[in-house]
Amino acid sequence: MNIFVTGASGFLGTSLCKKLESGGNSLEKPCSKTCDLTKQDSLKKFDGIKYDKIIHLAAWTQAGDFCLHHPGEQWVINQQINTNILSWWHDKQPQAKLLFMGTSCSYDPSMEHAEENYLAGVPIDSLFTYAMTKRMLYAGALALTKQFGLKFNCFVPSTLYGPGYHTDGRQMHFIFDLIRKIIRGKLYGETVTLWGDGYQKRELVYIDDFIRIMLELDEKYDNELVNIGADGEFTIRDFAKAICEKVDYDFEKIEFDTSKYVGAKSKILIVKKIKGMLPDYSLISLDEGLSKTIDWFMENRDKLVSPVG
Ligand SMILES: NC(=O)c1ccc[n+]([C@@H]2O[C@H](COP(=O)([O-])OP(=O)(O)OC[C@H]3O[C@@H](n4cnc5c(N)ncnc54)[C@H](OP(=O)(O)O)[C@@H]3O)[C@@H](O)[C@H]2O)c1
């Protein structure tokens, strides 16, 4: 298959592209330097090629409190990126199926995180802009499909984890941040301070599981929005205890800073729909996923866990 992938250099994009290339697909993987998707004419050079799929992963965001400090920029940049992709899909690549990512942040925290509620209620204030741009992307795909019969799928993942995360010093998703802090505590005796009281809950999906499941779903279904979650969440304290056991660090030494930003208290995705679509739906255990992720951290310790300062 001839596939156009945006965000190919990202955490998900890197692993997904490896998988697609090993399956014999031919990929176009523009990066933001050579193809800045905020610019309307950035895709012009690809107009003449017909793609079977467009996998749209590009988004301007980071974990931690990044969304809290960049709401205006996030609105403009992500709307530009998504509008340019939607418009190019419709104008130049209508034969292609569009696959793109949603986010669990789009759900109203007071409502069940089930697909029928994706556009209902109001997302949490601190992630409002990012969440709304993801909702708009989905709304745009629905509108183009309704009017022009185009095909898409939108996947809504829980936080992804596994080997291959960024090593460029940006804000990390919580699980990578936890691992890094605890390894530093173990190796360099640094104080491990976690944000919040540690009772906020999260769920994780291992990156290879996510890729396998999204590709299987895409083969079998069209025009669906589907949650891909772990069907179970744990407190940050639970995650920290599991990591402490693996790196042999005393959990009791960890400090909790309740003045720090922690986001939603819980955001578990309802996975009833996907279990109906893929009856064999299953993920690797958290224990195995954490071991693989920690091993990768240790292999990259020069870039990831050198002492602060
Ligand atoms: N990771 C998760 O846990 C998670 C959870 C829910 C949803 N998602 C969604 O899944 C997708 C992939 O996530 P990820 O973690 O792989 O993201 P990521 O690592 O932050 O990668 C983002 C990608 O977007 C590209 N990009 C940003 N601005 C661009 C621009 N102006 N023009 C072209 N490309 C641009 C970046 O390209 P350059 O490197 O070339 O700048 C990078 O490849 C995103 O849409 C994200 O919202 C991820």
For residue 110, give the DSSP letter.
T
Cα of 164 to ligand 1 centre, how many Å?
A: 14
Ligand 1 atom index nearest CA of 80? 31
- 3-state secondary structure (DSSP) of residue 266: coil
Residue 235 confidence (pLDDT) above 70:
yes
We find that the CATH architecture of domain 163-202+232-268+284-304 is Alpha-Beta Complex (3.90)
102-138 tens-digit pLDDT: 999 999 999 999 999 999 999 998 899 999 999 999 9
- Rounded Cα distance between 267 and 111, Å, is 10
Q: What phi and psi, each to the nearest 5 degrees, are found at residue 43?
A: -95, -5
Residue 309 confidence (pLDDT) above 60:
no
Tell me which residue of 286, 292, 257, 247 sits closest to 158, measured CA to CA: 286
**pTM score over 0.85:** yes
Cα of 253 to ligand 1 centre, how many Å?
A: 35
Q: Which residue has the tokens 């399956």?
A: 23
What kind and span of H or E run contains 53? strand 53-56
Read off the tokens for 154: 């939108």
Using a 6 Å cutoff on CB, does residue 160 contact ligand 1?
yes
Using a 6 Å cutoff on CB, does residue 101 contact ligand 1?
yes
Tally of helices (H runs) and strands (E runs) in the chain: 10, 12
Sequence ranges of the domains in the chain: 2-159+204-228, 163-202+232-268+284-304
Cα of 61 to ligand 1 centre, how many Å?
A: 7
For residue 90, give the DSSP letter.
H
We find that the CATH architecture of domain 2-159+204-228 is 3-Layer(aba) Sandwich (3.40)
